[in-house]
Amino acid sequence: MRDGLPESAALRVPPGARMQTPLCRLAQEVAELAGWRRYGLAFLLGVLLAGALPPIDLTPLIFVAFPGLLWLDEGSRGIWASARLGYVFGFGFFLAGMYWIAAALFVDISSFWWALPFAVLGLPALFALWPAAALLVTALGSGRLRLSPDARLCLFAVAWSATEWGRGHAFTGLPWNLVGYAWSGGFPGSLYVLQSAAWVGIYGLSFVTVLAASLPALFGTPSLLPLSPLRRVMPVLAAAALILVPGTAGAVRLQLLPTVSTATWLRIVQPSIPQTLKWDPGAAEANFQRLIQLSSSAAPHPLAAILWPEAAATFLIERDAVHRNAIAAVAPKDGYVVAGALRASPPPGPVTEVWNSIEAVDHDGAIRARYDKAHLVPFGEYIPFGDFLPIRQLSVGAIDLSAGPGPQTITLPGLSGFAPLVCYEAIFPAAAIDEANRPAWILNVTNDAWYGRSSGPFQHFAIARTRAVEEGLPLVRVANNGISGVVDAAGRVLAHTGLDAVTYADIPLPAAGPPTPYSRAGDWLFLGLLIAGLVPVLARRRASIQP
């Protein structure tokens, strides 16, 4: 019994049966771990799961982390013991996967040293509540419904994926390091599986991945031993099908959606200005001249636009005619410089509001279009409950930034319509583009110099790449220090820059693909997958109430 709840079917077997195979013995030994060994292994398994994601890209580690967690959970005595186990696992996962957030504090460590423990330990401790909730729900459902081992795994995959969706939406959301991103990096063949995001989005891909990775846990279930050899290998066959079938469909999609370049040429400018100098008044002019020099280099093809990263212009373009005219001088004839910049309330009045924006300047110095970032970073661009918290944000400025209205499509003469995204707006699925006015490509400008040579910039690039697959649109990414690059509508990386390189790249814009099922239906398809995953659970409940 587990605190009055019936144990799962996996434990209701004769003790001798548990010792009949090496995997059963291993599962039993793992389940019987106690104290620091139990929680130390849970922490280590969480760290291993982080290693499956970019930039390490050891995707097979998911087939170690999740079975190990589920075997550990077999030894949990009560639902709260399961929740504690999930919490420690999640703490290891987020500590290893998101440590780089703390790097931003070192830009001004003398002012923000006190926040270091909160960034290094506090955020993982907070996010670990989500895996804890997933194991809590799994233990509660398994005990009350007396679920079979395979139904328990389905419930776990549903619960884990649902909590990922919750993490991506609650309290402004941070859908970073979702398990589905294990297919967004450089592991061989991962691009084939990543194509599934075009149908079910990254949350749906997470569900399929967690379910497939959890199935090997059944090899430690003694109740499979009396079955036929074919039935005993069913877990590995099912796990293989969950990966190979989407992978095969993805390979077909890649064949049907080859890279096609348009006649539009763009220049990506990567100035790689250190964050310590980014807002230094003494370095402002030198920083600006670096942008101008990279932009003014001769091009082998006529350019439609020159693209600058987030906050490349550290002055207010609409209020500074001298610098605006300097930008206009390097803009292509009949083209634009599309620059990340801060924008203030219109002149000639005083500055009362500031936005993190993208502004398009033409050859005559006119601002032809602008976009204001809608999804702002808490504590970085504004202070939640700022009237009650005596702290200032990490970004430069005396006032909080204001939020824009949301996704939009910018269309300019000579330049096909694009969806502008500033910084981490690219991490939010189903919120990247205006589906009612579908663009031809996605422009993501960002400044990852805050995070140095950590895993953060690599993860950010891989996440943005996934938006291209979901939407069936090419993505052009312009980062201050990298990683900048171009991704086609199927997620192929056509060009990219090195981290911290001072460089530019002239690239032809890839053609858009047709709208994907995910671009049309969004997360409703993910909801359908969750309902399908609950079928074995509901079937077990129905069977349990039969007279």
Residues noted as catalytic: 310, 373, 423
H/E segment holding residue 68 = helix 62-74
Q: Which residues contact 100 (CB under 8 A, 6 or more apart)?
A: 451, 452, 454, 455, 456, 459
Cis peptide before 79 (omega within 30 of 0): no
Q: Please give the Cα distance from 358 to 375 (Å, whole number).
A: 14
Q: Please give the Cα distance from 489 to 198 (Å, whole number).
A: 10
Taking residue 425's Cβ as centre, other Cβ atoms within 10 Å add up to: 25
CB of 67 closer than 8 Å to CB of 220: yes
CB of 466 closer than 8 Å to CB of 194: yes
For residue 205, the cross-strand partners are none
| Count of helix runs (H) and strand runs (E) in the chain | 19, 12
Tokens of 402: 């204001």
For residue 503, the cross-strand partners are 270
Place of tokens 């069913």: 234
Tokens of 152: 């328990």
Q: Is 354 helix (H, G, I), strand (E, B) or coil?
A: strand
Q: Please give the Cα distance from 1 to 296 (Å, whole number).
A: 73
CB of 61 closer than 8 Å to CB of 49: yes
Handedness of CA 181, 184, 188, 189 (dihedral sign): positive
Which one, of 155, 92, 33, 255, lies nearest residue 539 by Cα? Answer: 155
DSSP class of residue 352?
-
Tokens of 308: 């600058």
188-220 CB burial, b ≥16 within 10 A, e <16: eebbbbbbbbbbbbbbbbbbbbbbbbbbbbbbb
Q: Which residues contact 158 (CB under 8 A, 6 or more apart)?
A: 207, 530, 533, 534, 537
Taking residue 368's Cβ as centre, other Cβ atoms within 10 Å add up to: 15
For residue 360, the cross-strand partners are 338, 369
103: Cα separation from own chain's centroid:
18
